[in-house]
Amino acid sequence: MGFDSSRRNFLQAGLALPAAGFINAYHREAAVRAPAGAAYRALGKTGLKVSGVGSGVGITPDPNVIARAIDLGVNYFDTARGYGAGKSEEITGAALKGKRSKVVLASKTDARTRADVFKDMDASLKALGTDYVDIWHLHSRDTPDTITDEAVEACEMLKKQGKTRFMGVSAHDINAVVDTILKIGKFNVVQTTYSYAIGAPFRSAAISRLHNAGIGVVAMKVIIAVAGFVPREVKLPNEGPLAAIKWVLLNPAISTTVPYTKNIAELEMNVRAMTEPYTAQDEKMLFVRNQEIRPLYCRMCYECKGQCPKGVPVTDELRFLAYNDFGGNLLQAQENFRLLPKEIRDVRCSDCSSCAIHCPNGVDVRSRLIRAQTLLG
């Protein structure tokens, strides 16, 4: 079965399947137990062993959370040059003071040119208070042309200079860039979106190809769909994030996850995913949540890419909205929205009487975009 047909099947089936069926065959077989080696996993062929639960520190406001994470055995920390209005690396660096050698540290650059990649690396090292990062990602590369030769060459030079140990790419649309990543053959780590809500069937093949090529795969957006934006009448499952991380860790091709963690209580819950089994109750909870958020949460399948006659990048705008509605981070949502070209930022979906896009995943595209543009525009 080809990628497209399997994706369509999932999208159609997802609306009707019973609880036991919304997770793909691999996960069904693996359910109600934790996979062997769940706590620490190989990061591809880097030789590094990373905790299955890492830490996305982009919006972590408190160095104490990072310090506690290290105490609990978390050893993978992910940030980026631009996260937290440029403050995330500084906060991370302060928290890692004296502990740098205990962790695997990843940061990212949006830069496309050689000079800008170098400039970003120097700024990142200064902010992080370290001589090197372990992984240096080309950030948010969702089309092949964004993985520029110049940026790749710059990363190779930084590796030779010892400023990064390994090269990475982060991508929301892994299917669009997996061929390019494998063809270039220089990347050691790839970070991509993967969760029970974003869906295994249309990402698993790409993730397996990367894993089989010896590339460490880091899952992001693993808990966002169980956090935030809860209709008033629906009670948010307290342990939704825990179940969501456990679900991701059932896939042995995933090396680590980078859930965001705002406080120590959330962190202490997240790390339990490394040792606790995925249960039938987890499966049921995630199924219910998956249905609740269906009209609200874009699954980033990119099925609607290029369909808006006015050029609205639907998946991107809905992702930015999710940073606020599901992640509680208005600043991150606004910052990303502001990076869109002005002529795109100025489009208002409220000016359309109906929307050209019919999301096969059940998202109410027009009303969600109206909300995004009202809140972030």
What 8-state DSSP symbol labels residue 54? -
With contacts defined by CB under 6 A, name the span among 243-251, 264-272, 304-312, 320-328 that binds ligand SF4: 304-312
Q: Does 13 bind ligand SF4 (CB under 6 A)?
A: no
Q: Which is nearer to ligand SF4, 89 or 142 (CB)?
A: 142
Q: Is 369 in the site for ligand SF4 (CB under 6 A)?
A: yes
95, 181, 340, 347: residue in contact with ligand SF4 (rule CB under 6 A): 347
Task: Pick the closer one to ligand SF4 by CB: 7 or 27.
Answer: 7
Grouping H, G, I as helix, E, B as strand and the rest as coil, residue 365 is helix
Is 162 strand, coil or helix? coil
Kindly state whether residue 310 participates in binding ligand SF4, applying the rule CB under 6 A: yes
Any contact of residue 45 with ligand SF4 (CB under 6 A)? no
Q: Which is nearer to ligand SF4, 13 or 32 (CB)?
A: 13
Query: According to the binding rule CB under 6 A, does residue 315 interact with ligand SF4?
Result: yes
366 binds ligand SF4 (CB under 6 A): yes
Contact assessment for residue 189 and residue 137, using Cβ atoms and an 8 Å cutoff: yes
Report the residue from 13, 32, 115, 356 that binds ligand SF4 according to the rule CB under 6 A.
Answer: 356
207 alpha carbon, distance to own chain's centre: 13
Is residue 293 a contact residue for ligand SF4 (CB under 6 A)? no
Least Å distance, CB 14 to ligand SF4, is 10
Name every residue whose Cβ is closer than 8 Å to that of residue 233 and which is 6 or more positions away in sequence: none
- The β-bridge relationship of strands 189-193 and 216-220 is parallel
Tell me: does residue 357 bind ligand SF4 (CB under 6 A): yes
Cα three-residue angle 375-88-115, rounded to 5 degrees? 100
Kind of pairing, strands 49-51 and 40-42? Answer: antiparallel
Q: Which helix (H) or strand (E) segment is 74 a member of?
A: none
With respect to ligand SF4, which residue has the nearer C-beta, 285 or 365?
365
Which member of 48, 147, 155, 298 binds ligand SF4 (CB under 6 A)? Answer: 298
Minimum distance of ligand SF4 from residue 189's CB (angstroms): 25
What is the nearest approach in angstroms of ligand SF4 to the Cβ of residue 347?
5
Within 215-281, strands assigned E span 216-220, 256-257
In the complex, minimum distance from the CB of residue 163 to ligand SF4, in angstroms, rounded to a whole number: 36
* Residue 114 burial by Cβ neighbours in a 10 Å radius (0-12, 13-18, 19+): middle
Q: Give the range of 16-24, 63-71, 260-268, 305-313 binding ligand SF4 by CB under 6 A.
A: 305-313
Minimum distance of ligand SF4 from residue 149's CB (angstroms): 29
Asked if 75 is part of the footprint of ligand SF4 (rule: CB under 6 A), the reply reads no
CA separation for the pair 168, 263 (Å, rounded): 28
Nearer to ligand SF4, 89 or 317 (CB): 317
Instruction: Report the alpha-carbon angle 42-259-271, nearest 5.
Output: 70
The dihedral formed by the CA atoms of 58, 94, 165 and 52, expressed in degrees to the nearest 10:
-50
CA distance 112 to 294: 35
Query: Is the separation of the CB atoms in 283 and 19 below 8 Å?
Result: yes
Residues that bind ligand SF4 (CB under 6 A): 298-304, 308-310, 312, 314-315, 318, 347, 349, 352, 355-357, 359-361, 363, 365-366, 369
